[in-house]
């Protein structure tokens, strides 16, 4: 297909998905997609339509973070990842729905309405990057960008039956990614095939002087994935396989482990003793950083303003009270509390110390001969809409297997690994050491090809 036909086909596919009422798309214009053919569309992503989570700044569309406070906000610059995608010939197709400011695990916390699961409309697609996941899973786009602070790409990838990869912290520039928890945030990638994810990751990685935490590394080059897993040591953390683990999730992991063993890998039980503390640690650190990052939405510098005539304090209160939804307000309250004088040491200080222990657990395992870790991605399949939305702690707990990699800055991927008896997709997760992004992606490609070959079914 030539480039204009490709773009027309891409626009048609997005419009078909939009007509299904998934509410996965926050901004799209046929004209914006089709007219990008006038750009020089050559390069490794030539003519590929890419969905962009709406907390990543683009020039093509507004950037709202699915928040009333940024409704209609047009960024004056674009994220480095977006700039690189365009330079590689990629097409910015649409902006995708998310939990407000990427806070959530279901995309039910969007100010613009929840996104539905693409194949099970009474269920959530996961979150917070649920719009990107739903679009990729429904076939509207081949790849999409999401963001990860604590699993927001791997978890929806598992729920929707697709691949989701989070790079090592610092591997992809955060310039133009709206900040949530700056020490955790990374742009991350969805695809139906591992190779599609690799194609995008190779384009968006590499040092960026606009992000002081960006690693001084060249763009990732995964190369040709090896033909087998000969000599690869895969650790199975005992803490991720508790006795009460869901039977379908355990079966998915067993199938993945068998496939890796059949591919030549050696499997070994390992221990990450602080695993149990990961969720509590994450839900202190992420809100603490969020409360500082979201202080900028004060009605003066960005987006919506309310109560401008009532004095400064009243304007802050009116703007933030009306602009932020309940989950964002909850995070700001928790974050402000754990950072406040008198509580700082008891909460934030201890969470920082625990984070260091969690990271040390991983380092210890990787320093002792383990190349990759295999775990479930989620404790169960996609939950029903409304099931957890009024029980934040239950929603937070569902992040137990994913948030460790964010706390430790590790590369990690979720690969589809079959389904429950009712056909709900399940994912398994591979985690590597800092900088082992290529190894994680190569192993994921092999694992996924075993799925395609029927060995995991």
**Residues at the site binding ligand GLN, with contacts judged by CB under 6 A:** 102-105, 128, 147-152, 180, 286, 399
Answer whether 55's CB lies under 8 Å from 63's CB: yes
Nearer to ligand GLN, 103 or 338 (CB): 103
Q: Is 168 a catalytic residue?
A: no
The neighbour count for residue 227, using CB atoms within 10 Å, is: 9
- Closest residue to ligand GLN in the complex (CB): 152
Q: How far is the CB of 380 from ligand GLN (least distance, A)?
A: 15
Catalytically annotated residue among 105, 128, 138, 433: 128
Beta bridge partners of 96: 25, 53
Nearer to ligand GLN, 97 or 152 (CB): 152
Q: How far is the CB of 364 from ligand GLN (least distance, A)?
A: 25
- Integer-rounded Cα Rg, in Å, for the chain is 21
Nearer to ligand GLN, 394 or 452 (CB): 394
Q: How far is the CB of 188 from ligand GLN (least distance, A)?
A: 9
Answer whether 291's CB lies under 8 Å from 339's CB: yes
Q: How far is CA 283 from CA 28, 91, 289, 397, 406, in A?
A: 33, 35, 10, 10, 12
Answer whether 377's CB lies under 8 Å from 402's CB: yes
Q: Is 182 a catalytic residue?
A: no
Listed residue (366, 383, 363) closest to 426, CA to CA? 383
Catalytically annotated residue among 132, 147, 152, 173: 152
Residue 127 phi/psi, 5-degree rounding, is -170, 175
Answer whether 167's CB lies under 8 Å from 389's CB: no
Nearer to ligand GLN, 367 or 393 (CB): 393
Q: How far is the CB of 402 from ligand GLN (least distance, A)?
A: 8
Q: Is 53 a catalytic residue?
A: yes
**Alpha carbons 270 and 444: distance in angstroms, whole number:** 20
Residues 6 or more apart from 52 whose CB is under 8 A from it? 58, 61, 82, 92, 93, 94, 95, 96, 132, 144, 145
The neighbour count for residue 121, using CB atoms within 10 Å, is: 11
Q: How far is the CB of 225 from ligand GLN (least distance, A)?
A: 27
Nearer to ligand GLN, 80 or 149 (CB): 149
Nearer to ligand GLN, 110 or 319 (CB): 110
Listed residue (64, 56, 51, 52) closest to 13, CA to CA? 51
Q: How far is the CB of 367 from ligand GLN (least distance, A)?
A: 27
- Active-site residue numbers? 53, 128, 152
């Amino acid at each position: 297909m030539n480039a204009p036909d490709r773009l027309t086909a891409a626009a048609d596919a997005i419009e078909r998905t939009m007509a299904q009422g998934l509410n996965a798309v926050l901004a799209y214009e046929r004209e914006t997609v089709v007219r990008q053919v006038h750009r020089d569309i050559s390069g490794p992503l030539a003519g590929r339509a890419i969905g962009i989570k709406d907390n990543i700044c683009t020039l093509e569309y507004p950037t709202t973070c699915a928040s009333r406070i940024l409704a209609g906000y047009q960024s004056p610059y674009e994220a480095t990842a977006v700039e690189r995608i365009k330079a590689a010939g990629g097409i910015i197709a649409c902006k995708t729905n998310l939990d407000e400011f990427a806070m959530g695990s279901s995309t039910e916390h969007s100010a613009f309405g929840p996104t539905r699961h693409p194949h099970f409309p009474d269920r959530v697609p996961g979150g917070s990057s649920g719009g990107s996941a739903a679009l990729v899973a429904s076939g509207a786009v081949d790849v999409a960008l999401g963001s990860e602070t604590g699993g927001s790409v791997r978890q929806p990838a598992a729920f929707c039956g697709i691949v989701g990869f989070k790079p090592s912290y610092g591997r992809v520039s955060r310039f133009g990614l709206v900040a949530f928890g700056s020490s955790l945030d990374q742009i991350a990638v969805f695809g139906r095939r591992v190779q599609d994810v690799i194609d995008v990751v190779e384009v968006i990685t590499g040092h960026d002087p606009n992000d002081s935490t960006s690693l001084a590394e060249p763009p990732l080059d995964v190369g040709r994935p090896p033909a087998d897993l000969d000599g690869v040591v895969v650790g199975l953390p005992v803490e991720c396989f508790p006795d009460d683990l869901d039977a379908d999730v355990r079966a998915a992991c067993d199938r993945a482990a068998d496939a890796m063993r059949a591919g030549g890998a050696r499997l070994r039980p390992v221990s990450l003793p602080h695993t149990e503390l990961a969720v509590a640690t994450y839900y202190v650190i992420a809100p603490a950083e969020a409360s500082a990052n979201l202080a900028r939405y004060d009605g003066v510098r960005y987006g919506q303003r309310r109560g401008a005539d009532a004095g400064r304090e009243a304007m802050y209160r009116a703007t933030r009270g009306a602009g932020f939804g309940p989950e964002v307000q909850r995070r700001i309250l928790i974050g402000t509390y754990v950072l406040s004088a008198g509580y700082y040491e008891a909460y934030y200080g201890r969470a920082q110390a625990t984070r260091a222990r969690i990271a040390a657990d991983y380092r210890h395992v990787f320093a002792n001969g383990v190349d990759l870790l295999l775990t479930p991605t989620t404790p169960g399949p996609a939950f029903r809409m409304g099931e957890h939305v009024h029980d934040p702690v239950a929603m937070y707990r569902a992040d137990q297997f994913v948030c460790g990699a964010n706390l430790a800055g590790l590369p990690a991927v979720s690969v589809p690994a079959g389904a429950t008896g009712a056909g709900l997709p399940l994912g398994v997760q591979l985690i590597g050491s800092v900088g082992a992004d290529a190894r994680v992606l190569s192993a994921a490609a092999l694992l996924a090809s075993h799925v395609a070959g029927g060995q995991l079914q």
